Structures are given as structure tokens and as C-alpha cells.
Amino acid sequence: MANIHPSAYVDKSAEIDSSVEIGPMAYVGPRCILHKGVRIGAQAMVETDTEIGEDTYIYPNAYVGCDPQDVSYGGEQSRLVIGKRNKIREFTNISRGTAKEELLTEIGDDNLIMAGVHVAHDCRLGSNIIIANYTALTGHVRVADSAFISGFVGVHQFVRIGTQSMIASHSRVGKDVPPYCTIHDNAIAGLTIIGLRRRNVSSDARAELKKAMRLIIDLGVPFDTLPAKLAELEQFEEIKHFVDFVQSSKRGMIRRFRNEDEE
């Protein structure tokens, strides 16, 4: 039988695995599904229509599965799906989806979402992502696997953040973030060299990625010609991913290069 504190509220329609722990004054609302090993901290709120995967911990005072903060939302039944082994820290807010897409907000596995983060309606996050304190992802944002977003970052609606990218704190992100790049306030600061090495990306592939980055920051190269230029590079898996990302960019991509002496 699940370990539910007497002061917690669990709706009768919720599906709760016998290994789940729910802390004091926590709330689990209608049609929620809590899988094996899920922990809900004290005063945390899982509002409605939310599925939480195995061994995920919703820390005290977090608020997930809430109504979308969108003026077009008219009370439609929508969902939030959170994967396995995530850590959702204190005072984080994650909204459900809207009818503008598929009535779904979705988060993958093994993510760390630190205190005070806002993940808005219709966002889709991959796995192995870290989002630091007080960052806000507005609606329809896509974050690929292994991205790192520092604290106090603001990400505009419909922006895509590429795999293994890093965004510096206090940055404003208004366009797509290329894979494998470090971003500082809407400008490219370089490649994530240390991360690439840790993931055993070969030196040859890293050299081609440097060439790809140089093409990206060369504003003399028209954006619509970038895929063809990138296709001329040696097609390591990372370069292919880079090409696919550029070809599918609808909002436009960050291309300005940030000089080291910029403040």
C-alpha cells in the first residue's frame, strides 16, 4: 500500500502504485498516474491529468500539471507526461498542454529541473537535461537531449534548443540554439568542447563541428544556403544532426558571434 501522509489529498480517480510516497499536505488530483517509486514532497501539487514515471521525485512545494498560462485555454482536458528518474525541485511550475498542439506537455527521463523553473504549456523536453534555477521556458519550446540551461534564462516561445548545447545564465534566447554550441545572451560563444570530449566525440568530428560553427557565425553566408554548405563537410553523425537542425529551423537560428571582450 502506498505511503500517503494522513494530511495529503489523493483524488479517487488517481492511479497510485503501492510503492509511491506522498508527503504532508501534498495534493494529487483527478486522473493522475503515479508509477513505481514516485515521491511527492510536502505541499507539492500534482493538479490533474498528469502521469509521472518511475522513481521521479517531485520536491516540496513544486506545482505540476497545472492549467496552461495561456489566454486561449478554455478548460480543455489536456495532459502532462513526465518520464522516469526526474528530479523536479522546489517551487517549479510545469503546465499541461493546449489545443494549439496536441494537448500535451512532455518531459523525458533523467532530467534535473532546479528550483523555481517554469516549463510552460506544450513544451517538449528530452532526457539528461539540466535546467538551473529561475529559468523560464515559454510555450511550445523544444529542448533536445543533454542540453544545459543555466539560471535566470528566458526562452521565447517556439524556440528549439539543440542537443548538448549550453546556455549561460541571464541569457535571453529568441531564436533556435544550434546543437553543440555555447550561447551567451542570444550569441554563440563557441562549442561545448569539454562536453563533446566527455561524450567521446572524436577529434575529427570536433574539427568538423568547428568548421560548421564558423559557417553558422559567418553572416555573409545566407541562411538558406547553410544546409548545402554544411553538407560539404565530412558527414559524421554530429554534422548530420547539425544539418537536420538547420534545415528544420522555422524561427531562425542564433548566428551572431560573441567576442570574449563583450560584457
**Residues belonging to the active site:** 121-122, 139
Report d(CA 244, CA 263) in Å as an integer. 32
CA distance 76 to 253: 33
Do residues 191 and 182 lie in contact, with contact meaning Cβ atoms separated by under 8 Å?
yes
Q: How far is CA 78 from CA 48, 144, 207, in A?
A: 9, 23, 45
Q: How far apart are CA 90 and CA 113, in angstroms?
A: 9
What is the pairing mode between strands 181-183 and 188-191?
antiparallel
Cα separation, 233 vs 81, in Å, equals: 38
List, in order, residues 6 or more apart from 181 with CB less than 8 Å away.
Answer: 162, 165, 166, 188, 189, 190, 191, 192, 213, 216, 254
CA pair distance 56, 88, nearest whole angstrom: 8
Residues 140, 134 contacting (CB under 8 angstroms): no
Q: Which among 207, 175, 197, 177 has a CA at the least distance from the CA of 189?
A: 177
State the residue for C-alpha cell 545564465.
169
